[in-house]
Amino acid sequence: MVRRTRPALILLCWGYQVTTPSDITSAHDIRDDHLLAALLDGMDAALFAVDGGGRITHWNRQAERLLGWTAEQAVGRKGLGGWAVRDADAADVNDRLLRVLRAPGGGGPRQVQEFPLLRRDGGRVLVRAQVTAVRGPDGRGTGAYCAFSEVHAQLDLERNLALSEALLTDAAWAVLVVDADLRTVAANDRAARSLDATPVDMLGEPLGEFIGAGIEELEGALEHTLAGQAPDGPVEMWLTLREDDCREDEYGLPVPRDVEGGERCLLGGFLRLGSPLAAQAAPLGVAWVFQDVTRTRRAARRVARRAFRDGQLGRAARAAAECADPMEAARLHLHYALPGFAEHALLDVVGTQRDPARAPALVRIAQSPEADAYPLSPEGVAVRYGAGHPAPQAVERGVPVRVSGASDTAAWAAEQRWPEGTEHALCVPLRSRGRGLGALTFLRGAGRRPFDRADTAFAEDVALRLAACVDLARATGGS
């Protein structure tokens, strides 16, 4: 069997290393030649190689596609001058290609060069090339290979990489990337802070591990984006973190969630990520770019809520001014205060026959909506509240009382003599001319948040108007 020896060829380009042995059989040599040709032609980068004298030894299909010169026309030529490079530039380009061989050690590190090349049709193209020395068995440089691409295409690639790197480091926007299974694959620090986590903890985890209420809406937007139906504009989502949704007190009971402290408003868009190398468009995942606008939205919501409530108070005052009966004016105030604030409103006043030694006996004289548990007579209906009920407490103490239901909401509401489904209550005292006249109670169901300080302030405004009406009715001889 004939054996032949040739210098080893090592190609280092785009992360690949290909070595052809220097001492192999002819059969292996043939197979390796085919393998090397297939590797060179399958590369995404244009590539050619030169020996120590500047003669072209390899020319792949990408170089043929970019410049128009075929491998048969290029391989074996001495230098690039006169065909792939203008004669005026030939000496400079050839010197820059072989400069890596003159470095100490027989071959320098990879060098990045930019120079103009000629297409077969006579046009010029500016390329960015990576030039690397090819070492022989003795470690000396025997040639060089040049992997190149058009400068504009390379700059576009570098800009895309730089943009991705900037977004995932110190961008002003939060960026979170999920794969096709909706598992987190990347998140910058701002996104992790918005979700009360760290980028490391989020890797490989579904978003449901960090988000409680609102996760269905978020996952729906991600799935629509993967299907190529991304939302047209920015999407505003109110989400609750799972830690906030599962808080418990010292006795293991769930802590009522306050909207102002638990929910977060995230405004952003969804971008479908696809591979530019795939023959068919295959989604790699979705990038969610968002900002935490919770403070801004909360402030805007408080302003809108306050404007609506002030408008309701003004409408109630104008309607009450046309009422000859003060109690009718009180009922109007009650009806106007209810929309957007609570499901039920109860007006209880202290009975005229009151024993100072006992808790105040309260009489229900108005309620909204009208169709409630107690059908009211013109004189009202006495309500037998139990010991520790918040309504008598508000009358005795002269301060508002806020309460929320226990684990058994139905039994708790029945015990407090409130409508079924009540979970949150706010009792505000009615006071006029230094006297306690009764209590105003607002009730909310399980689908609403507990009453907060802003709600208490609005209820006190309503109670002031109701107390004036009740006091006027008694002063003029009413019940």
The CATH number linked to 79 is: 3.30.450.20
Domain's final residue, options 106, 134, 156? 156
Q: Among 139, 54, 48, which residue's Cα sits nearest to residue 99?
A: 54
CB of 218 closer than 8 Å to CB of 209: no
Number of domains in the chain: 3
Helix (H) or strand (E) holding 297: helix 294-320
In a shared domain, residues 247 and 313: no
Q: What is the pLDDT along the chain (479 residues), one digit of tens a residue?
A: 333 333 334 344 443 444 444 443 444 555 666 676 677 766 677 888 888 888 888 888 888 888 888 888 888 888 888 888 888 888 888 888 887 777 665 445 677 878 888 888 888 888 888 888 877 777 777 788 888 887 777 777 777 777 777 777 767 788 888 888 888 888 888 888 888 888 888 888 888 888 888 888 888 888 888 887 888 888 888 888 876 544 444 444 444 444 445 688 888 888 888 766 555 566 778 888 888 888 888 888 889 989 998 888 889 889 888 888 888 888 888 888 888 888 888 888 887 655 555 556 888 888 888 655 555 555 677 788 888 888 888 888 889 999 887 666 778 888 888 888 888 889 999 988 888 888 999 998 887 888 889 899 999 999 999 888 888 888 887 55
In a shared domain, residues 231 and 355: no
The separation between CA 185 and the C-alpha centre of its own chain, rounded to angstroms, equals: 14
In a shared domain, residues 454 and 340: yes
- At CB < 8 A and 24+ separation, what contacts does 389-392 make? 389/416, 389/417, 390/416, 390/425, 390/427, 390/441, 391/346, 391/348, 391/362, 391/427, 391/439, 391/441, 392/359, 392/360, 392/362, 392/439
Q: Is 270 within the bounds of a domain? A: yes
In a shared domain, residues 252 and 346: no
DSSP 149-185: EEHHHHHHHHHHHHHHHHHTTT-SSEEEEE-TTSBEE
C-alpha count within 13 angstroms, C-beta hemisphere, residue 192: 17
In a shared domain, residues 201 and 330: no
In a shared domain, residues 319 and 449: yes
Identify the DSSP state of 370.
S
Query: Which tokens sit at 393?
Result: 């407490």
Domain's final residue, options 135, 156, 177? 156
Domain enclosing residue 17, as ranges: 3-156
Cα(340)–Cα(461) distance, integer angstroms: 16
Q: Among 54, 220, 239, which residue's Cα sits nearest to residue 145?
A: 54
pLDDT at 220: 85
Amino acid making up residue 158: E
Q: Is 440 within the bounds of a domain? A: yes
Q: Is 381 within the bounds of a domain? A: yes
Q: Is 80 within the bounds of a domain? A: yes
CB of 64 closer than 8 Å to CB of 110: no
In a shared domain, residues 220 and 330: no
Q: Is 163 within the bounds of a domain? A: no
pLDDT at 324: 85
Query: Residue 425 forms beta bridges with which residues?
Result: 403, 443
Query: Which tokens sit at 301?
Result: 């919501």
Domain's final residue, options 292, 312, 341? 292
In a shared domain, residues 311 and 399: yes
In a shared domain, residues 411 and 325: yes
pLDDT at 178: 85
In a shared domain, residues 284 and 433: no
Q: Is 149 within the bounds of a domain? A: yes
Q: Is 161 within the bounds of a domain? A: no
In a shared domain, residues 352 and 250: no
Predicted TM-score of the model (pTM): 0.58
In a shared domain, residues 305 and 271: no
Q: Is 50 within the bounds of a domain? A: yes
The CATH number linked to 314 is: 3.30.450.40
